[in-house]
Amino acid sequence: MDKKIIHQLHADFERCANTDEASGVEYWFARDLQKLLGYSQWRNFEPVIAKAVAACVTAGQNPDDHFARARKMIETGKTAQREVDEIALTRYACYLIAQNGDPRKTEIAFAQSYFAVQTRKMELVERRLEDIERLEARKKLSESERQLSGLIFERLGDNQSFGRIRSKGDTALFGGLSTQDMKKRLKVPDSRPLADFLPTITIKAKDFASEITNFNVKAENLRSEETITTEHVRSNRRVRQTLLDSGIAPEKLPPAEDVKKLQRRLETEQKKKATRKAIKKDET
């Protein structure tokens, strides 16, 4: 396909995109998309939309979330107007329509590639946000455990107590499996913290349990290893029950990427992004 045509079609698609001010959701109007995809008549475009809706259902998605019915005024002459059916389409809906269009049309061929690439970009963005969320959760857990360690040392004067108390809390959270048991299950190196290989939901669970323990140790003025251990075990059991009520057994979740590798990967991506921006700036 000629590069000029590609650039023009890309510009046309971007120009026709709309954004809902309340939700920030991007959408296209079906009658605009009709013209962009090379269909001169609405009656020839409607069957393509119908196929796309069917594909949406087959994929397990609710069509109402992607094909929103509406009404629109169009010009039928220099001064005349009439109201017609309209549909607001999400990016996913546009992708399905393109997939069910006539591949012999240049516009359809372009759209199939365009929406596939844009969808992939969104997937990468979502993955990056999930990675950042996990890193932030891990930092938060380190902070809540640092606070708990400080409280325990302040009240017991023993550097080893925190490790023992945390280990018993882990056993409560993981349904009887110790920290070492979980390390073996997730193949975590002995020299590394278990939390560095836990999924985000479990990291947040451990953090929540630690925060509860911190609060109650201070609120109840607990000053013995036995009472603090009892409190921490109770906190972890309560958090575990909350997870189980939602169908989540933390000990059965698969391991996540090592947070150190994750941090390095994100830092490398950030450096590459900064380099590309610098090069682009120099070129302009």
Answer yes or no: is 172 within a domain: yes
- DSSP per-residue codes, 141-181: HHHHHHHHHHHHHHHH--TTHHHHHHHHHHHHHTTT--HHH
29 SS3 class: strand
User: Where is average pLDDT lowest: 17-31, 108-122, 256-270?
Assistant: 108-122
pLDDT at 110: 79
Question: Which pLDDT does position 5 carry in this prediction?
Answer: 65
Average pLDDT, the chain: 88
> Are residues 115 and 189 both part of a single domain?
no
> DSSP string covering 50-94, please?
HHHHHHHHHTT--GGGTEEEEEEEEESSSS-EEEEEEEEEEHHHH
Q: pLDDT: is 274 or 95 the higher one? A: 95
Q: Which of 53-57, 65-69, 105-109 has the lowest mean pLDDT?
A: 105-109
* Tokens found for residue 173: 């959270």
Of the candidates 257, 263, 124, the one whose C-alpha atom is nearest the C-alpha of residue 203 is 257
Which range has the worst mean pLDDT, 65-69, 137-141, 165-169, 279-283?
Answer: 279-283
Average pLDDT over residues 151-165: 94
Asked if residue 240 lies in contact with residue 173, where contact means CB atoms within 8 angstroms, the answer is: yes
- Is residue 124 scored above 90 in pLDDT? no
Token pair of 276 as six digits: 């590309």
Instruction: Say if residue 12 is in the same domain as residue 66.
Output: yes
Identify whether the C-beta of residue 33 lies closer than 8 Å to the C-beta of residue 110: no
Question: Do residue 189 and residue 248 come from a single domain?
Answer: yes
Q: Going by C-beta distance under 8 Å and a sequence separation of 6 or more, which residues neighbour residue 89?
A: 27, 28, 29, 30, 33, 66, 67, 68, 97
Q: Do 60 and 99 fall into the same domain? A: yes
At 1 the pLDDT is 47
Whether 11 shows a pLDDT value over 80: the answer reads no
* Average pLDDT of span 244-263: 96
Percent of the chain with pLDDT over 90: 56
Q: What is the C-alpha to C-alpha distance for residues 39 and 49, in angstroms, rounded to an integer?
A: 12
Number of separate domains in the chain: 2
**pLDDT band for position 237 (cuts 50, 70, 90):** very high
My answer on whether 91 and 175 are in the same domain is: no
Domain match, 98 and 159 both: no
Same domain, 110 and 145: no
Half-sphere exposure for 171 (CA within 13 Å, toward CB): 12
12 and 113 housed in the same domain: yes
In a domain, 272, yes or no: no
**Residues 216 and 189 grouped into a single domain:** yes
Q: Are residues 106 and 144 in the same domain?
A: no
Task: Tell me the per-residue pLDDT of 12-57, one tens digit each, with 9 for 90 and over.
Answer: 777 888 887 777 788 889 998 898 888 989 899 999 999 999 999 9
- Cα-atom radius of gyration of the chain, to the nearest Å? 28
Phi, psi of 230 (to 5 degrees): -60, -40
The 10s digit of each residue's pLDDT in 174-231 is 999 999 999 999 999 999 999 999 999 999 999 999 999 999 999 999 999 999 999 9
* Domain limits for position 246: 136-264
Q: Which two tokens stand for residue 148?
A: 């708990």
Diameter of the chain by CA atoms? 87
In a domain, 283, yes or no: no
Most confident residue range from 66-75, 90-99, 224-233: 224-233
**Is residue 28 within a helix (H) or strand (E), and if so which, with residue range?**
strand 26-29
Note whether residue 276 is domain-resident. no
- Reported confidence tier of residue 71, pLDDT bands at 50, 70, 90: confident
For residue 47, tell me if it sits in a domain: yes
User: According to the model, what pLDDT value does residue 79 have?
Assistant: 65
pLDDT band at 167 (very low <50, low <70, confident <90, very high): very high
Identify whether residues 108 and 182 lie together within a single domain. Answer: no
Q: Are 167 and 178 in contact (CB under 8 A)?
A: yes
26-29 sheet: strands from edge to edge = 18-19, 26-29, 81-90, 67-75
Residue 279 in domain: no
Lowest-confidence range among 20-34, 59-73, 152-166, 263-277? 263-277
Distance (Å, rounded) from C-alpha 258 to C-alpha 19? Answer: 37
Is 128 within the bounds of a domain? no
Residue 273 lies in a domain: no
Same domain, yes or no: 66 and 143 = no
